[in-house]
Amino acid sequence: MTPLKNDRFLRALLRQPVDVTPVWMMRQAGRYLPEYRATRKKAGDFMALCKTPELACEVTLQPLDRFPLDAAILFSDILTIPDAMGLGLYFSEGEGPRFKSPVRTAQDVAALAVPDPEGELRYVMDAVRLIRSELHGRVPLIGFAGSPWTLATYMVEGAGTKEFAHIKRMLFDEPKVMHQLLDLLARAVTVYLNAQIAAGAQAVMVFDTWGGVLTPRDYKKFSLRYMEQIVRGLTREHEGRRVPVILFTKNGGQWLEAMAATGCDALGIDWTTDLADARRRVGDKVALQGNMDPSVLYASPARIRTEVETILASYGPGSGHVFNLGHGIHQHVNPDHAAAFVDAVHKLSTPYHV
């Protein structure tokens, strides 16, 4: 493999010295880019884009050609795993993801099996291998998966939801079935991420989009516990380098101490938590990734720079900070504003690394 030309991102995740604060954007390959919309049109639909390694590679690299980002992230979807389990994933326009066969009963759960990452999910590993090769060592490649709890919400509800009625009924009334499903998903995510690492992913991130809809007690029992199981099962050294693991629970700001105790290397932080508080609370246990409100990218470039400066000052001097948005970039953002954001992070962070 080609040696890495820019390893700021990996170094910051391990709290090793860097020259400037590294930066990438969640959903950086996405609809706000006209070149992405063109490739997506060529692919037909969203899942066709995910399932065609050449096209997934193409969109993964697009934002890197526009902006001096410090990491690439595999273009894929968290629902590849339930799709490979045979639940019949489809996207209905304007309504988000849906499953033809939601998982509702003990029998439904018993019928599920861990998918083979080099079988049903081989298209993901092929994309990782191709992207890694096409990157030619420019920046590290991030692999990812959804958290067991987050995957389970879609599998049990059968669609996006605001109320979480079906899965919470399962959680409260049939906790054994709920745990069986989550354990299966934790095993599936572990082999899936390890396969991504073997295929070339140099860091991995677990997205827990919906852990924040639980009580603190249930978050620990039904979401964090299974992310910890994944962290314990991951390959942490590959190609002679540590493979950092990032955990991100949206709206999880109240539980950072517990998240930091899982053995992961870094936490993703959304914008509802102050980075200075977060750093004080987790101490030197983990690095932090975040946390600009993605809506700031709707504001003027001057205002974007002010916000970047505020967040850099909030984290303070020293390594251990990867700059990012607190959630995915919105589709109506002007790409020039994203450029101003990336530029501001690099330019304004120099004084914090002397």
Q: Is residue 93 a contact residue for its own copies (CB under 8 A)?
A: no
Nearest approach, Cβ of 163 to its own copies (angstroms)? 6
Show the DSSP H helices in the chain as ranges: 8-13, 34-43, 46-51, 53-66, 80-84, 106-110, 122-135, 148-157, 165-173, 175-199, 216-218, 225-233, 256-260, 275-282, 301-315, 335-349
Residue of 129, 236, 242, 330 interacting with its own copies (CB under 8 A): 330
Q: Residue 238: which of 190, 201, 186 has the closest Cα?
A: 201
Measured distance CA(222)–CA(128) in Å, rounded: 30
Nearest approach, Cβ of 254 to its own copies (angstroms)? 5
Amino acid (one-letter) located at 325: L
* Sequence-ordered list of residues with C-beta below 8 angstroms from that of 196, at least 6 positions apart, any chain: 74, 117, 124, 125, 128, 143, 144, 204
Measured distance CA(236)–CA(203) in Å, rounded: 9
Sketch the per residue contact string, 136 through 175, with its own copies: x for CB under 8 A, - otherwise: ---------------------------xxx--xx--xx--
Residue of 298, 335, 343, 353 interacting with its own copies (CB under 8 A): 298
Pick the closer one to its own copies by CB: 123 or 298.
298
Active-site hit among 27, 66, 122, 241:
27
Pick the closer one to its own copies by CB: 277 or 284.
277
Pick the closer one to its own copies by CB: 47 or 299.
299
The token pair at 278 is: 């977060």
Annotation marks residue 77 as catalytic: yes
Pick the closer one to its own copies by CB: 201 or 333.
333
DSSP 316: -
Residue of 79, 214, 247, 264 interacting with its own copies (CB under 8 A): 214
In this structure, are residues 70 and 9 in contact, taking their beta carbons and an 8 Å threshold? yes
Residue of 65, 92, 136, 215 interacting with its own copies (CB under 8 A): 215
The token pair at 47 is: 């899942």
Nearest 5°: phi and psi at 192? -65, -45
3-state secondary structure of 320: coil
Q: Is residue 68 a contact residue for its own copies (CB under 8 A)?
A: no
* Sequence-ordered list of residues with C-beta below 8 angstroms from that of 168, at least 6 positions apart, any chain: none
Q: Is residue 27 a contact residue for its own copies (CB under 8 A)?
A: no
Annotation marks residue 31 as catalytic: yes
| CA 127 to chain centroid | 17
Annotation marks residue 280 as catalytic: no
Nearest approach, Cβ of 306 to its own copies (angstroms)? 9
Nearest 5°: phi and psi at 288? -125, 140
Question: Where in 219-278 is the site for its own copies (CB under 8 A)?
Answer: 251, 253-254, 271-274, 277
Active-site hit among 40, 132, 279, 305:
40
Pick the closer one to its own copies by CB: 245 or 275.
275
Sketch the per residue contact string, 43 through 62, with its own copies: x for CB under 8 A, - otherwise: --------------------
Nearest approach, Cβ of 62 to its own copies (angstroms)? 22
Active-site hit among 36, 154, 192, 219:
154
Q: Residue 87: which of 69, 104, 106, 64 has the closest Cα?
A: 104
Amino acid (one-letter) located at 204: V
Pick the closer one to its own copies by CB: 182 or 296.
296
Residues belonging to the active site? 27, 31, 40, 77, 154
Which residues would be at the binding site for its own copies (CB under 8 A)? 163-165, 168-169, 172-173, 212-217, 251, 253-254, 271-274, 277, 293, 295-296, 298-300, 303, 307, 310, 330, 332
